[in-house]
């Protein structure tokens, strides 16, 4: 874990801290406004501006922002991937699973973990291709891996990255 933190530093959840976003590091600018009832989070270049009310903790405000951004990042990638594959999906959900990056049901419902946005963009792109391949082959048989390889040449490298660094894709405050 120490080696992975050297290559992939953990988020620092404080004013002036940093959070990862698709291979970038965004600097947090956090203000508390007691009169505010809802948290406000907005990206301005490489800065993530956060205005907190007295009720919302910083991790919760950030997670809500990442969930919204996940839909905005995943949807166009998923639409493009299914178009290239000549397939369709029935719905898109953004979730916060602890043990899965994504899933594809037999009905074509797609679910993606918002934590994918904490990793590099090529990992998100890979997971999208992986799930779209499941529209054709529901299991992880040799046929599935051949299909995925035809759509994503570097799939093995991306799988290794997820196994090695996936545990670090979290926003919990480091001690």
Average pLDDT, the chain: 92
pLDDT at site 70: 97
Provide mean pLDDT across the span 58-69.
95
pLDDT in tens, 15-30: 999 999 999 999 999 9
- Let me know: does 102 contact 126? Beta carbons within 8 Å: no
Asked if the structure places residue 173 within a domain, the reply is: no
Asked if the structure places residue 110 within a domain, the reply is: yes
Quick one: what percent of the chain has pLDDT higher than 90? 78
Give the HSE-up count for residue 137: Cα atoms under 13 Å, Cβ half-sphere. 13
Provide mean pLDDT across the span 18-44.
93
Helix (H) or strand (E) holding 26: strand 24-32
126 vs 174, higher pLDDT? 126
Asked if the structure places residue 175 within a domain, the reply is: no
Give the separation between CA 18 and CA 12, rounded to whole angstroms: 5
* Band (62; pLDDT cuts 50, 70, 90): very high
pTM of the model: 0.91
With a cut of 90, say whether residue 5 has pLDDT above it.
no
18 vs 98, higher pLDDT? 18
Asked if the structure places residue 134 within a domain, the reply is: yes
With a cut of 80, say whether residue 56 has pLDDT above it.
yes
Asked if the structure places residue 12 within a domain, the reply is: yes
Asked if the structure places residue 174 within a domain, the reply is: no
* Band (54; pLDDT cuts 50, 70, 90): confident
Provide mean pLDDT across the span 100-122.
95
- Let me know: does 118 contact 133? Beta carbons within 8 Å: no
pLDDT at site 141: 95
Asked if the structure places residue 55 within a domain, the reply is: yes
Provide mean pLDDT across the span 105-121.
95
Residue 92: which domain range?
A: 2-168
Q: Which domain CATH number covers 46? A: 3.30.2010.10
Asked if the structure places residue 52 within a domain, the reply is: yes
Q: Provide the number of structural domains found in the chain.
A: 1
């Amino acid at each position: 874990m120490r080696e992975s933190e050297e290559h992939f530093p953990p988020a620092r959840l404080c004013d002036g801290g940093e959070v990862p976003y698709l291979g970038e590091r965004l600097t947090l600018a956090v203000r508390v406004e007691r009169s505010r009832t809802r948290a406000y989070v907005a990206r301005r270049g490489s800065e993530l501006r956060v205005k907190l009310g007295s009720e919302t903790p910083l991790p919760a405000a950030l997670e809500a922002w990442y969930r919204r951004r996940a839909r905005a990042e995943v949807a166009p990638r998923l639409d493009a991937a299914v178009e290239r594959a000549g397939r369709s999906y029935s719905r898109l959900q953004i979730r916060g699973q602890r043990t899965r990056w994504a899933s594809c049901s037999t009905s074509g419902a797609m679910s993606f973990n918002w934590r994918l946005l904490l990793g590099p963009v090529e990992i998100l792109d890979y997971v999208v291709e992986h799930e779209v391949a499941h529209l054709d082959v529901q299991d992880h048989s040799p046929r599935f891996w051949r299909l995925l390889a035809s759509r994503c040449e570097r799939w093995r490298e991306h799988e290794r990255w997820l196994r090695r660094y996936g545990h670090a894709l979290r926003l919990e405050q480091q001690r």
